[in-house]
Structure 1
């Protein structure tokens, strides 16, 4: 997605050789037209997969997951990161570290919204080390649903997350792949 690469170069902020801040595009502000374009692209890539439900982790993946769900005409379910008083006591849970937040959190998905009959497409904003993604994949597998694939807006291919998921035999589609953030410069893979 050339338009996404262009916007990352214009609006992304390289914080370190490991961290790219995309607040202007994904994590704080959302451009509705760009988000819909990303959703259309994921829907195109997974159009022949029989998807019945889109799943994501709150909060930064929700906008792109929503756009994908809208285009595919299927429900969107997001895993919560915090328990509330109204939380499903029988929710599927997994404890995961957060690379960017530097903390460990629980992600929870209500059994009410996923079933063994579902064919799930997992959409996420960025994959670095892949801890949250692996946690949600475990939850989806425990639900009995079929995980058809994972769509990621930005893959940091110099970190191990995407590679470890692909090694599990899971289809992972990235809209852009970044091979380096060295010296404050974003370098994309072809």
Structure 2
């Protein structure tokens, strides 16, 4: 997605050779038009997979996942990062570290919203080390649902997350792949 690459170059802030801040378009503020374009692109890539639900992790993955679910005409389910008083006590749960937050959290999905009859597309904003993605994959597998693929808005391909998911035999499609943040510069893969 050339429009996404351009926005990353214009608005992304390279914090270090490992961290790219995308608050202006993914993680704090959302451009609805660009987000809907992302959803259309993911939907086009996965339309033939018979997706019955889109799954993401709160909160930064929700806009792109919503746009994708809208385009596919299926429900969006998001894995919560916090248990609430009303949470399903039998929810599917995985403990995952967060690369950007530097903490370990539980992610959970109620069994009410994911079942063995589902064909799941997992959409997320960024993949770095892939811990959250691996946690969601485990939840989907334990539910008995079929994971048809993973869509990532920004893959930092110099980190192991995307590669680790692909090595599990899972189809992973990224809208943008960044191969380096060295010298304060974003370098994309072709």
> After TM superposition, is the score higher than 0.5?
yes
2: distance between equivalents of 1:150 and 1:116?
18
Moved over 2 A (4+): none
Shift of 1:170: 0.2
Alignment pair present for 1:57 and 2:67:
no
Per-residue deviation, residues 35-91 of structure 1 (Å, max 9, x unmatched): 000000000000100000000000000000000000100000000000111111000
Per the TM alignment, residue 130 of structure 1 is displaced from its structure 2 partner at its CA by: 0.1
Q: Distance in 1 between matches of 2:15 and 2:111?
A: 38
Q: Which residue of 2 aligns with 1:78?
A: 78
C-alpha distance in structure 2 between counterparts of 1:153 and 1:109, whole Å: 22
Q: Partner of 1:46: helix, strand, or coil?
A: helix
Q: Which residue of 2 aligns with 1:105?
A: 105
2:175 aligned partner:
175
State the shift of 1:166 in Å.
Answer: 0.1
C-alpha distance in 1 between matches for 2:22 and 2:80: 21
The residue number in structure 1 matching 2:117 is 117
Structure 1 partner of 2:94: 94
What is aligned with 1:25? 25
Superposition CA RMSD, Å: 0.3
Shift of 1:8: 0.1
Question: When the two structures are aligned, how many residues end up with a matched partner?
Answer: 190
> 5+ unaligned residues in a row in structure 1: which ranges?
none
Alignment partner of 2:164: what SS? Answer: helix
Q: Under a length normalisation based on structure 2, what TM-score does the superposition of the two structures give?
A: 1.00
Query: For 1:152-173, what per-residue CA distance to the aligned partner results, in whole angstroms no more than 9, with x for missing partners?
Result: 0000000000000000000000
1:105 and 1:68 map into 2 onto residues whose CA distance is 26
Structure 2, unaligned stretches of length 5 or more?
Answer: none
State the secondary structure of the residue aligned to 1:123. Answer: strand
Instruction: Tell me the equivalent position of 1:165.
Output: 165
